[in-house]
């Protein structure tokens, strides 16, 4: 059985694919625009599936997992292009949240059930 790749391994996998099959990375600005587009596609599905909007004809088979994977793919491309280690960045941000938000959400009356 294959093991699930780490985020760092996904960055390497993506970079290898770009360099062998994808020819080259799109520019950072193009990838930022593509990321925005992919987030918009995910937002459309979420608004229709979990929100108040209804699906339009032909949208019934849209898949949020596929759109989330598209968002992750382009984010990984941007990270690779700009030299960001996503695992390191995520863990640093997580640690910041652990310290900063230790009691914040527990004390938020809007989050009380």
The CATH number for 58's domain is 1.10.287.1080
Q: Please report where in the chains the tokens 């062998």 appear, as a residue.
A: 20
Expressed as residue numbers, the domain containing 77 is 7-84
Displacement of CA 3 from its chain's centroid (Å): 21
Provide the mean pLDDT of the chain.
Answer: 93
Residue 1 in this model has a pLDDT that exceeds 60: no
The lowest-confidence range among 29-43, 62-76, 94-108 is 94-108
Is 109 inside a domain boundary? Answer: no
Is 90 inside a domain boundary? Answer: no
Q: What burial class does residue 104 get, using C-beta atoms within 10 Å of its C-beta: 0-12 exposed, 13-18 middle, 19+ buried? A: exposed
pTM attached to this predicted model: 0.87
Count the Cβ atoms, other than its own, within 10 Å of residue 49: 14
Q: Please report where in the chains the tokens 């280690």 appear, as a residue.
A: 85
Count the Cβ atoms, other than its own, within 10 Å of residue 51: 11
Q: CA 12 to CA 70: how far, in whole Å? A: 16
Is 71 inside a domain boundary? Answer: yes
Is 111 inside a domain boundary? Answer: no
Is 2 inside a domain boundary? Answer: no
Over residues 69-80, the pLDDT tens digits come to 999 999 999 999
Q: Please report where in the chains the tokens 């849209």 appear, as a residue.
A: 62
Count the Cβ atoms, other than its own, within 10 Å of residue 97: 12
Is 46 inside a domain boundary? Answer: yes
Total residue length of the chain: 113
Percentage of the chain beyond pLDDT 70 is 99
Is 100 inside a domain boundary? Answer: no
**Number of domains composing the chain:** 1
Per-residue tokens: 80: 């690779």
**Confidence band for 102, pLDDT divided at 50, 70 and 90:** confident
Is 74 inside a domain boundary? Answer: yes
């Amino acid at each position: 059985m294959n093991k699930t790749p780490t985020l760092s391994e996904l960055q390497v996998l993506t970079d290898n694919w770009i360099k062998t099959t994808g020819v080259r990375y799109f520019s950072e600005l193009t990838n930022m625009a593509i990321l925005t587009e992919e987030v918009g596609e995910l937002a459309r599905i979420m608004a229709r599936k979990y929100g108040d909007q209804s699906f339009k004809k032909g949208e019934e088979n849209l898949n949020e997992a596929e759109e989330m994977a598209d968002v992750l793919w382009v984010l990984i491309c941007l990270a690779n292009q700009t030299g960001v280690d996503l695992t390191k960045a995520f863990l640093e941000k997580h640690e910041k949240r652990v310290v900063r938000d230790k009691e914040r959400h527990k004390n938020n009356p809007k989050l009380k059930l």
